[in-house]
Structure formats: C-alpha cells, structure tokens
Homo-oligomer: A and B are copies of this chain.
C-alpha cells in the first residue's frame, strides 16, 4: 500500500452514497447528511434505484448511472447486495468503497464469511475496501464526516479504529477537548485496508502530530509490520494504542464485534512498549495525553507539587500519585519558610501537597504559592487543583459572593503564574456535584485555563497518569535522539 493511495482515499474529490433514502435514521442517509453538514466541497452523488430524491437531492439508480467520475463510495445496503455493488464500483473505476454495511465475518456465520470473501475477491487489485462494518472517514480538512457535529476544524490528532462506536466517540471527545483531528478512520473488519495501512500514512502525514489506535486483533503478519512502523515513528510522534479484548471475555466479544482473533495481551504490552508506544485503556486517556502533549512543555522529571485546598483530598491525592508513579517530594526548608509567610499555619500543610485552605481566597496567595513552589529545585511540575463545589457552591451563596468573581480571580492568578513559570503547570478540575450551575462554572474555568495553555483534567488520577505517560514518552525520545547522535 503506497502512501499516495491512502492519501487519495482520504481526499476523494467525488463521493457516491449508496442506499440513501429520506429516512435519516437509516445508515446511508446518515452519511449523506453528515457530508452535507460539514460542507463537503466535492461532487456528491446519492444512489438508490427506488427513490428519485433524497434529502432534497437527485438520486441516481446505480453507480454506473452517475455521469462524472466517482473517487469514493459509501455503502449502506443489506450485506447480500454488497457483492453486486463492488462489481459496479469496479466497472465504474472508483478508487475506494467504504462499507458501513455489516453482516459479514463479524457475525461468525458461514454466510457472513462467504460474503466478506466475495467482496474481497471482486475488489482485489481494482478497488480498495474500508470495512465492512465500520464508519469510514472523518477528515476535517477535506470536509468529510461520518457523524453529525463533526466540525471542519483540523488539528493534529489522528485515530484509526477497529470500532466504529469508538471512532465516533473519539471524534466527539477530541472536539470537546480542543484536540482537533487530522483524520479519524474507522476500519471495522478490515477485509482489505488495515490498521497498519493508515498507521503508515499517519506516520508520514505532516498534519498528524499524535497517532492513536484502537486495535482488537490483527491479520497474519500485520503485527510485524506494526512494530516496524512503530520503530520508525515513535521517536518523532507519540503513538497511543488501546488494545481491546485484553481479557479472555473481552477477546470473545472482540471476535463477535469485528471477527478479530486476539493474541495474548501480555505479549502485546511487552513488544509494543519496547517500540515506544504508549499503552492506554480508553479514549479519555488518549485525549488526556494528546492535550498534555499539545499544551505543555516537557517536564524534567516526575516530581510534582500539588497546590490545593483541603487536607483530606491531599492524602487521597498523594496515594493516587504514588500509584501512578508521580512523586510528591518534600519541599525545601526555604520554600516552606516562604510559604508560611502568607499561608497561616492553622489547618494547612505547608509541605507537599501545599494546602492553602481558606488562605486560597485571599488575593495573591495562589499566585505567590505557585511562584514559590516553582523555585524549589525538588519540583519538576505543578498540579493546581480547583474546588468549584467548595469555592462556588454553598459557600459563595452563603457569603453573598458571585461565584464567577471568585473563580475569575483564582483563574487569573493561576494563569499569571503559569506564564512566568519555567516548569509545566497543569490543573485538576473535577466535576463538582450534580448541579448544572456548578457544571457550567467548571466548563468556564476549563475553557479559561485551556485558552491559556493550562491543560485541565477531570481527576487527579487522570492528571497523574497523563503526566507519567508524558514523562515516559519524553525520556524515550531523549534516548532515541541520543542514539542518533552517537
């Protein structure tokens, strides 16, 4: 598979959507409306022999009835019709077909396997297949989408997935976190185009800064290829891999899902980590890493200082950090002495975590705390922890204060400090309570921080995990660079 081929497949200048109707709940129509919503600028041809018009657009009875050239075909028709569509596509000379259609090898029946073999046989050497049983392509730059809400805003995050649901989820989550995508590809049963075909492309793609993959299983020989591309890539770009079907019961589900045969997860972990890949367990961990990579500079080590309010959380947070491999060393005497000047001794922990308690409400205390901690030679990064529920909840109401005013001053102090610090500062900004007003304030704080390049995380655990992964990856890159220098 050459790079050029994949590039063309991801940038078609004309698309036919086969199986559209006026029922928007039906698969093919969903793709048509997604393409219309994102504003696809190429030629768009709805195909259905039974209707004259779909979503206000003229339909064509078949691929062959389309007057112009067709680069890419999206298919949502019953599986038994699939072989005839491939025949048409071959006759029409299209470059790629994406089958949303399911009912192939993943069903585990002879009929399903036979149908999948049939489309592969007809297409081989003539038309490339994405799928079957998948969502296909989201390419914001080329304005191709497979779901509503997929914005035409391009970024550096690439994702290739053996699950359509997770591809959909990744794209939505990425947009939510500001981790805009370069390309997202859902490949389903990968009867033809595989994980490694897209991985290889993303590795060389200048628009792609991080590569994420959801893998359930691989074809014979594909594992070796994956490792080769990993070795080629991880020194230049982070590669995040989530392996579905790690457990026996997950592997059984993965088989029913995409017909994938899984290998032992232990083996996976070892070899894939050796090649510098970052192993994750869900989409959120992908987004957390991508965000930290996007917004933060590398840290020199795993020694963090937490700056927070309230002792009970401090202990819990220390335990979480220990578990995730983030150290919270004691602060120097000098730093402690500096902090005690403006954080009163009562009810506070002047050590690490720095617990500002109620002093955190006094203007200047947050910023001075952060600046002093950053000077401590034992500290490589700072984690600021918000307390929206505490700051903006019952207390603000009771004191007759506008919660937004308090939060604004806190945000201002953190942002101002972060711009002067020479070590990374990130933020844990947990969901306060199930209160829509507080949730709105949390989202406000998140936006303000991230606008100013301060990555926020929903929990201490997620922040610690991202920091550790980032650290491990940065050290890996250092080693690769050192090797190249020699």
* A contact residues vs B (CB 8 Å cutoff): 24-25, 30, 33, 78-79, 101-103, 107, 133, 147-149, 161-167, 169, 172-173, 176, 214, 216, 244-250, 252-254, 256-258, 281-282, 310-316, 318-319, 321-323, 327-328, 330, 345-347, 349-353, 358, 361, 389, 393-395, 397-399, 431, 433-434, 436, 439-440, 443, 446
Q: Kindly name the residue among A162, A358, A398 whose own CB sees the greatest number of chain B CB atoms within 10 A.
A: A398
CB-based contact B395/A319 at 8 Å: no
28 A-B interface contacts by CB (under 8 A): A25-B399, A102-B347, A107-B345, A107-B346, A149-B394, A163-B311, A163-B313, A164-B312, A166-B313, A166-B316, A172-B389, A176-B433, A176-B434, A214-B312, A245-B318, A247-B318, A247-B319, A249-B319, A249-B328, A252-B330, A252-B351, A254-B315, A256-B349, A257-B311, A282-B316, A431-B431, A434-B443, A439-B439
Considering the complex, give the chain B residue whose CB is closest to the CB of A442.
B434
* Copies held by the complex: 2
State how many angstroms separate the Cβ of A135 from the closest Cβ of chain B. Answer: 10
How far apart are the CA atoms of A327 and B250 in the complex, in Å?
A: 10
The residue that A315 contacts in the complex, of B163, B169, B313, with Cβ under 8 A, is: B163
Known contacts A322-B248, A353-B253, A389-B172; decide if A347 and B311 are in contact (CB<8 Å).
Answer: no
User: Contacts A250-B319, A312-B161: A103 and B346 contacting too (C-beta < 8 A)?
Assistant: yes
Contact between chains at B433 and A172 (CB < 8 Å): yes
Given A102-B347, A103-B347, decide whether A245 and B310 contact each other with a Cβ distance below 8 A. Answer: no
Report chain B residues within 8 Å CB of A313: 163, 165-166
- Inside 8 A of A101's CB, which chain B residues have their CB? 346
B351 touches A256 (CB 8 A): yes
Q: Check B24 against A398 for contact (C-beta < 8 Å).
A: yes
- Contact of B258 with A311 in the complex, beta carbons under 8 Å: yes
Q: How far is the CB of A185 from chain B (nearest CB, A)?
A: 14
Closest Cβ of chain B to A321, distance in Å, is 7
Closest to A326 in B: B249
What residue in chain B is nearest A351 (Cβ atoms)? B256
Give the 3 A-B CB pairs with smallest separation, nearest first. A163-B312, A247-B322, A148-B394
Q: Which chain B residue lies CB-closest to A172?
A: B433
CB-defined contacts of A352 to chain B, threshold 8 Å: 253
B172 near A244 with CB under 8 A, answer no
Beta-carbon nearest neighbor of A265 in chain B: B319
A148 & B397 in contact (Cβ 8 Å cutoff): yes
* Minimal beta-carbon separation of A288 from chain B (angstroms): 14
Closest Cβ–Cβ distance, residue A314 to chain B (whole Å): 5
Task: Name the residue on B nearest A357 (C-beta).
Answer: B102
Using Cβ atoms and an 8 Å threshold, which residues of chain B touch A328?
249, 253
B residues less than 8 Å from A258 (CB atoms): 311
Task: Determine how close the nearest CB of chain B comes to the CB of A331; give it in whole angstroms.
Answer: 11
Give chain B residues whose Cβ lies under 8 Å from the Cβ of A252.
Answer: 318, 330, 351
What is the minimal beta-carbon distance from A110 to any residue of chain B, in angstroms?
A: 13
A250 and B164 CA atoms in complex are apart in Å by 41
Give A440 to B346 CA distance when docked, in angstroms: 40
A346 to B176, CA, bound (A): 31
- Contacting residues, chain B, for A350 (C-beta < 8 A): 256
User: A436 to chain B: which residues have CB within 8 Å?
Assistant: 436, 439-440, 443
Known pairs A24-B399, A149-B393, A162-B312. 15 more at Cβ < 8 A?
A: A24-B398, A25-B399, A161-B312, A163-B313, A164-B312, A166-B312, A216-B315, A245-B315, A247-B319, A250-B316, A253-B314, A253-B318, A254-B315, A256-B349, A281-B319
A389 to B172, CA, bound (A): 10
Measured CA separation A71–B25 after assembly (Å): 67
Q: Most chain-B CB neighbours within 10 Å: which of A216, A282, A315, A345?
A: A315
Would you give the shortest CB distance from A251 to chain B, in whole angstroms? 8
A25 contacts B394, CB within 8 Å? no
